[in-house]
Amino acid sequence: MSKRYCYALLALLLLGFISGPAHSREDALPPKPLAPHEHHSKIESSLLLQARAFTLTPTLSLAGRGSSDLSVIIETDRALDNTQLEVLGVQIEARSRRLLRARLPAQNLRALVERIPEIAYIRKSLKLHTLDVRRTEGLIPTGALLLQSAGYRGQNVKVAIIDLGFAGLTRAKRVGAINPKIIVDEEDYSGEGLEAGTSHGTGVAEIVHAMAPQAWLYLKKISDEVDLENAVDDAIAQGVQIINHSVGVANANFNDGTGIVAEIVDRARAHGILWVNAAGNHAQSHWMGRFQDRNYNRWLEFAPGREDLYIRADFPGAIELFLTWDDWPRSGEDFDLFLYDAQGRLVASSQNYQTGYESPTEEIQYVAWTPGIYRARILARRVSRGDIRLKLFDLSQHSIEPHTLEGSILTPADARGALAVGAISARLWKSGPQQSYSSQGPTSDGRIKPDLAGPDAVSNYTLSYFTGTSAAAPHVAGAAALLLSQNPHWTADALQNALESQAIDMGAPSKDTIYGAGRLDLALGKLQAQRKIVPQIARPGDTLTVTVEAQMPAGFYGGLVLRERPPWGEALSQTWPIVSVHETERFVYQIQVPKDLAPGVYRWRGSVNESAITGDESILIEAQDSKPSWQMTIRSDHVRFIVTNLRTARLKIFDLRGLLLFEETSSTGMLEWRFATALRRRANGVYLYLIEIVSEGRVIRTHWGKLVILR
């Protein structure tokens, strides 16, 4: 063992960066590539490593600029002194409200934070990731063609598409895939050129344009969170009403709707913009779990007894691993990430310091030239909590094992201000299921995501066969533009509520973490179906009359299909082949309560054209001898009610003006109003009393009466 290694290990031990049980073998753990004295709490460790490498091997680029220049993100809440920045060779490339993107000589990185205390942190930029898997076919199945035929085509609605590139835009305009007359603004915030790089944004714009052909488009190319913040500022100033962002980012938070990127989304929503975001394609390339180390060797167990996460690379390409844990925004819990090839050789690692000032993130980007099974391992360098939750994404979308379907939503789809969109193949649109890769919720703080499902696997000019939630999201954004042209006064909240309420429920009843509110469905109105059950309280042997009424919305054509499932007996079905606009159809049936049915609350389930029936959904079945009764006794200082056959009873006393004087709830059978105490005597007079019988939180019987107090 070298002296240098011994000194580094001794320093780590003395500073407390290695912790754990005394029987752990310290020399078996890989050392940090950056010694503690080389670390700075205001600089991301990987940047310091990059700076050290550049300083040792300086070279010049063909353009004359030093290739040892670092590209960095500077976090600051205050204005910085430009003179000091220039002295250190800092070149500002972009500014936003709280961030700067800059280049500077590697040798000046440490001096920058030491000389300018206003700098909070220097780090690499976040990795923005398009959420595609690689004529839109979504018009008919989503109902968009129906609204277009009625004259609602997105006119006067402003839609911004914030994406990572618009390659092929000129060609798409030339062939008519996108009408150039509806493009109001084209802005490149990255400095690379609007049509440089990916054609992803152009493919997204095609779908929005096909769904809402008269909506005004604002195309904005970004490369990082600085550009994103500036693009949103401009969108707000331009009066944009809808933003489509088919982009995701890892390691910006713990997928709980916090952090700089989610805050940008929430600010847009606060300014009245509906933000539509692809949910992500990482259901099978995501792992989340609590820290486990049953053998105390510091290596995290992805499953009991398993310290390796397998990554299947079926073809040469990038492996992009992003690790974070629930200790945001600054962490003193120190984890490191390692990647091994199929032969067990260490091929890449990420070993940032976390000393209480740095973000809880590690990141590996490795090119796997040889297909095979790669293994990721996580080392607990220093951990003080036993309940830490960790998340790992492979943004290159390799299948990983074990993987966690739940919680695989990417930022900023997890933001409170975002409408997150999952994906169902257009070829399985009516039946589902969702695409196997479509990211699922909930968020790490327990909120339901995604909010809606849109179609993918559609053809378009730019991307030919466009799959992924990247394609699903612009269908929803275009649908929102159609609804907004029909209802120009709607707010972003009203718009999202309309999209969700019109959706066809899929999967589990009501909103769920796979489909959200369901698959996108547009109509000029909403089909209304209501159920009425008479009586609402019954006993075994009674006969119930159930009426279901359904009314067609304007512009809707075709038939009605009723499916009704009472809580006992056989399921019922009724079909009307052709129903006119606004026509109401009524279906009435009677059903007898079984004589041996146990008392309780029984619920109906049913739908008309897959839309849930509203109105009465349950009744209360009482036992034959269960009718409540009560007795009242009046004394000189109180009134007492004794209730028999009780579930829960509530007593309310009012004066003749209707003012509530007293209220009591009891499940014991006794309710008592003391109208005279040592401190207060109630005046003689007439009072009203109300007894309510409550079952499962619902008032099922009431009784009014009068009290006369004379003393």
Higher pLDDT, 711 or 588: 588
Strand 183-188 relative to strand 216-221, pairing: parallel
* 58 pLDDT higher than 80: no
Neighbours of 25 (CB within 10 A): 8
Residues above pLDDT 90, as percent of the chain: 43
Q: Tell which phi-psi region holds residue 697, choosing left (phi > 0), alpha (psi between -120 and 50) or beta.
A: left
DSSP string of 184-217, one letter each residue: EEEEESSSS-TTSS--HHHHHHHHHHHHSTTSEE
The predicted model gives 558-568 an average pLDDT of: 81
The predicted model gives 397-420 an average pLDDT of: 94
* 499 pLDDT higher than 50: yes
Higher pLDDT, 570 or 256: 256
The DSSP 8-state label assigned to residue 323 in this structure reads E
* 135 pLDDT higher than 50: no
pLDDT of residue 136: 54
Q: How confident is the model at residue 13 (pLDDT cuts 50, 70, 90)?
A: very low
Q: How far apart are CA 444 and CA 324, in angstroms?
A: 12
The predicted model gives 102-112 an average pLDDT of: 87
Residues above pLDDT 70, as percent of the chain: 87
Which of 178, 238, 233 has the alpha carbon at shortest distance from 206?
A: 178
- Domain spanning 32-124: CATH 3.30.70: yes
Regarding pTM above 0.75, the answer is no
pLDDT of residue 114: 87
Q: How confident is the model at residue 62 (pLDDT cuts 50, 70, 90)?
A: very low
Judge contact between 229 and 379, C-beta under 8 A.
no
pLDDT of residue 559: 63
* 531 pLDDT higher than 70: yes
pLDDT of residue 26: 45
Higher pLDDT, 547 or 527: 547
pLDDT of residue 63: 34
Q: How far apart are CA 219 and CA 462, in angstroms?
A: 15
The domain 286-401 is classified under which CATH number: 2.140.10.30, 3.60.150.10, 2.60.120.380, 3.30.70.330?
2.60.120.380
Neighbours of 394 (CB within 10 A): 27
Q: How far apart are CA 41 and CA 29, in angstroms?
A: 23
Give domain limits for the chain: 32-124, 129-282+410-502, 286-401, 528-621, 629-709
* Mean of per-residue pLDDT scores for the chain: 85
The predicted model gives 323-342 an average pLDDT of: 94
pLDDT of residue 211: 92
pLDDT of residue 556: 53
Range in 11-20, 98-107, 423-432, 630-639 the model is least confident about? 11-20
The domain 528-621 is classified under which CATH number: 2.60.40.10, 3.30.1600.10, 1.10.3720.10, 3.90.105.10?
2.60.40.10
- Domain spanning 129-282+410-502: CATH 3.40.50.300: no
Which of 324, 364, 368, 394 has the alpha carbon at shortest distance from 46?
A: 364
Q: How confident is the model at residue 254 (pLDDT cuts 50, 70, 90)?
A: very high
Judge contact between 563 and 606, C-beta under 8 A.
yes
pLDDT in tens, 593-614: 998 888 788 899 998 877 788 8
Highest mean pLDDT among 292-296, 469-473, 583-587, 689-693: 469-473
* 627 pLDDT higher than 80: no
The domain 629-709 is classified under which CATH number: 1.25.40.340, 3.40.50.620, 2.130.10.10, 2.60.40.10?
2.60.40.10
Equal CATH topology for 528-621 and 629-709: yes
Alpha-carbon 298 to chain mean position: 32
Range in 91-105, 154-168, 184-198, 679-693 the model is least confident about? 679-693
pLDDT of residue 1: 42
* 100 pLDDT higher than 50: yes
Q: How far apart are CA 413 and CA 248, in angstroms?
A: 7
Which of 93, 316, 278 has the alpha carbon at shortest distance from 188?
A: 93
Range in 62-71, 185-194, 343-352, 449-458 the model is least confident about? 62-71
Which of 636, 705, 671, 655 has the alpha carbon at shortest distance from 663?
A: 671
What SS3 class is residue 645? coil
Q: How confident is the model at residue 642 (pLDDT cuts 50, 70, 90)?
A: confident
pLDDT in tens, 347-387: 999 999 999 999 999 999 998 888 889 999 999 999 988 88
User: Tokens 């004259």 — which residue?
Assistant: 151
pLDDT in tens, 24-46: 444 567 888 888 888 888 889 88
